[in-house]
Amino acid sequence: MTNPLAVLQSPARYVQGRGATDHLGQELAQVGITGPVLILSSAAPLRILSRTWSETLGKANIEFSVETFSGECSPDEIDRVTAAGKAANVTAIIGVGGGKVLDTSRAVADALGVAAVNCPTVASSDAPCSALSVLYQDDDEFLEYRFYKSNPQLVLVDSSVIARAPTRLLVSGIGDALATWWEADTVRRSASENQLHGQPTKTGTALAHLCYQLLKENATAAVAASNLNVVTPALENIIEANTLLSGLGFESGGLAAAHSVHNGLTTQSKTRDFLHGEKVSFGLVTQFVLEDRSTQDFDEILSLATAVGLPVTLAQVGLKKPTAGQIHHIAERTVAPGETIHHEPFKVSATDVADSIWAADAIGREWLMSRENSH
Ligand SMILES: [Zn+2]
């Protein structure tokens, strides 16, 4: 049965800016974390940030230990870090790195029943603020959403660290964020459940809309800043859109077809070299076909996506000459029971999805061709 109550959930505190890591100690104290804490970090941020951690946590009198991430968010890795956290009697787990590190650190915090703190070093997806992890099988095929009891206690985003990350990751985050408003809008229109199994609040839906506004106004300038590894107001706006607004927007606003098409695409090994937000971008074009959106809507997202280099065709997500069988397989996975595509305001079959994928691909190719010719 659908929950009639409207629900909104968020991290307890969100902090963003140049050099934010310098403030980690006082920010932990601000949310009542006194330590000891365990930092789970991937290797690169460990090299860049470990001296800053010693200074800021030292000043706040917070004891800490560090574990280097093994590279995979696997049950073994979760068990290993959980054991380390238990031995050190920690009161919080601080994940520092990309999506997999943060997912692992939140799973560990959940297992230990302690506070989760996320310090994303890339703005590549909307996961850091949410209370759920996306689990993949070892071969990168989508497995399931794992839900936690609460959102992180603190999300701290150091913009100077994000500016130094590869631009492709920021662009992928823009792809994930680009779908947020359109999926939330669908959930609102169909009165479906958000990702918290409640009705979306006006607030959740409005945050998704603000996310889209910021993308329209800042995406290309932010990509230029990222290419130069510099922090500008446009980059700050896109970090906020990709991380905070898309995070709150998808969770409290809800998901629809675009993310299900993404999940369908992950069944194909050829899409594995492509990032989450890149596949979501093509998923959004497919959602637009399904929803029979206006030419104006199509033009708006196609121009935004292609301006920053996001995929709008099958070939751009690794499927150069897909067979009808492959597309059908993707479509079947897209409409699996429990998928968010069933939040669309009409019934969707695998045949509907397969046809929409072919049509989306043709629209995307035509768009790219018309751009080329106009240059
Ligand atoms: Zn996503």
3-state secondary structure of 135: strand
Q: Ligand 1 centroid to 318 CA: how many Å?
A: 19
Q: How much is the pLDDT for 207? A: 97
List, in sequence order, every beta strand (DSSP E) within the chain. Answer: 13-17, 37-41, 64-68, 92-97, 115-120, 132-136, 142-147, 154-158
Domain that holds residue 27: 13-164
Q: In this structure, how many other beta carbons lie within 10 angstroms of the beta carbon of residue 79?
A: 13
Burial string for 222-259 (b: 16+ CB within 10 Å, else e) reads bbebbeeeebbebbbbbbbbbbbbbbbbbbbbbbbbbb
Locus of tokens 């307890």? 12
Q: Return the SS3 of 145.
A: strand
Query: CB pairs under 8 A, 24+ apart, for 45-51?
Result: 45/96, 45/97, 45/121, 45/161, 46/96, 48/161, 49/21, 49/96, 49/161
pLDDT given at position 138: 64
Looking at the structure, tell me whether residues 216 and 115 fall in a common domain.
Answer: no
**Whole-angstrom Cα distance, residue 291 to residue 341?**
11
Check whether residue 86 and residue 146 sit in a common domain: yes
Can you give the pLDDT of all 375 residues of the chain as single tens digits?
Answer: 678 899 999 999 999 999 999 999 999 999 999 989 999 999 999 999 999 999 999 999 999 999 999 988 888 889 999 999 999 999 999 999 998 899 999 999 999 999 999 999 999 988 899 888 777 666 667 777 778 888 999 999 999 999 999 999 999 999 999 999 999 999 999 999 999 999 999 999 999 999 999 999 999 999 999 999 999 999 999 999 999 999 999 999 999 999 999 999 999 999 999 999 999 999 999 999 999 999 999 999 999 999 999 999 999 999 999 999 999 999 999 999 999 999 999 999 999 999 999 999 999 999 999 988 776
Question: How many whole angstroms from 174 Cα to the centroid of ligand 1?
Answer: 10
Q: Is residue 139 part of a domain?
A: yes
The confidence score (pLDDT) of residue 100 equals 87
Number of structural domains found in the chain: 2
Q: Is residue 5 part of a domain?
A: no
In a domain, 88, yes or no: yes
Residues assigned a catalytic role: 176, 259, 262, 276
For residue 4, tell me if it sits in a domain.
Answer: no
Would you say residue 3 lies in a domain? no
Residue 364's pLDDT is 98
Is position 2 within any domain?
Answer: no
Q: Which of 164, 193, 225 is the last residue of a domain?
A: 164
**Rounded to the nearest whole angstrom, what is the distance from the C-alpha of residue 124 to the centroid of ligand 1?**
9
User: Domain holding 185: CATH number?
Assistant: 1.20.1090.10
Instruction: Tell how far the Cα of 251 is from the centroid of ligand 1, in angstroms.
Output: 10
**Domain-terminating residue out of 149, 164, 179:** 164
For residues 172 and 114, membership in a common domain is answered with no
If asked whether residues 310 and 178 sit together in one domain, one would say yes
What is the 8-class DSSP label of residue 82? H
Among the three residues 144, 164, 184, which one is the final residue of a domain in this structure?
Answer: 164
CA of 61 to the centre of ligand 1 (A): 37
Give the other-Cβ count within 10 Å of 146's Cβ: 15
Q: pTM of the full predicted structure?
A: 0.95
Residues 62 and 146 in one domain: yes
10 C-alpha to ligand 1 centroid (Å): 16
Q: Cα(322) to centroid of ligand 1, in Å?
A: 24
Assign residue 134 the CATH number of its domain: 3.40.50.1970
Note the pLDDT of residue 73. 81
